[in-house]
Amino acid sequence: MAVDVEITRFPQPGRPALGRIIEVLGHPDDFGVDVEIIIRKHHLPHTFPAERAC
């Protein structure tokens, strides 16, 4: 599964990193998961303002 994780303890010699799962994005092969990973990795805006009436 592809997940969004908050690191709660960084790795140290002899100790692995620990983290808390924030959100499950889905299986890596699921449609759109790869795009979601890119959006999050590069901090791209994923919401846009509503259209304004002219």
Q: What angle do CA 11, 15, 20 make, to 5 degrees?
A: 60
At 23-32, the pLDDT tens digits run: 999 999 999 9
- pLDDT bucket at 54, cuts 50 / 70 / 90: low
Tokens of 43: 């901090």
Tokens of 13: 């010699």
Strands 2-9 and 18-26: antiparallel
Q: Which pTM was predicted?
A: 0.65
- pLDDT bucket at 53, cuts 50 / 70 / 90: low
Average per-residue pLDDT for the chain = 91
